[in-house]
Amino acid sequence: MISYQATKQLHTLYSLRAMGHAYVDALDFSNAQEELQIPMASSHEALIAQIKHCHLCDLSKVRKQAFWGLGTTSSDLFFVGDYPSLAEESGAILHGNAGQKFVEMVEKVLERSVDSIYYTHAVKCMPSGGRHPVSSEVLSCKPFLLKQIEMVTPKLIVTLGELSYNYFTSNAAPFDNAVGEIQTFQGYALMPLYHPKFILQNPSYRAPMFEHLKKIANYLCVSSR
């Protein structure tokens, strides 16, 4: 599979040649903003395989494995994190303090089993060196995320943390103002929440998080009638 940056470079070089340019300075697409159009799998199982064998960006060179997520495609609730943790990259899904906090949110407040939801990340591979993904890496994964949403067709999408919200919506509005508020994205209801890791680091946000989760439960209850 040709990488995102290589595809963009080829497209640009062909365009420049068509305009009569014989030489061009080095091209850098690490901060590209245009989504990549690639053929997508038609079944969930095939999509998982496509994610696991993806080589669209440089993260594929350093990852241990790509993380597609967990859950059922019949779920009405779709959670989107930012990118896999070290534990998730090693295959230990929802382990660690943040993972256990998420499980607690789902099971104790929403009164749902983790198996009844769908959980994935905006970026499917963990960046090396503790950095955040660059835009070309985010855009490489975005077609997979959108296809997952299309296959699940949830009643509500919940983004976890500011990075996930920004990757997902490209919304310039302050994140704190959007948290807990239901909005619309491409025909789907969407609610951003603080990331479980943030809640662990900032205990004063536990009460607002509890109220936001109850709002999710009420929304799903009403929408199922």
Largest CA distance in the chain: 64
**4 and 27 in contact (C-beta within 8 Å)?**
no
- The total of other beta-carbon atoms located within 10 Å of residue 120's CB is 23
pTM for the predicted model, two decimal places: 0.83
Q: Which amino acid is at 51?
A: I
d(CA 59, CA 76): 31
- Give per-residue pLDDT as tens, 34-51: 555 678 889 999 999 999
d(CA 90, CA 80): 19
- Report how far apart the first and last C-alpha atoms of the chain are (Å, whole number): 44
Delineate the domains of the chain, giving CATH numbers in brackets.
4-223 (3.40.470.10)
Which residues is 120 bridged to in the sheet?
80
Q: What is the per-residue pLDDT across 145-204, written as a single tens digit (0 to 9) for each?
A: 999 999 999 999 999 999 899 887 766 678 999 999 999 999 999 999 999 999 999 999
Residue that is written with structure tokens 């929802």 in the block? 94
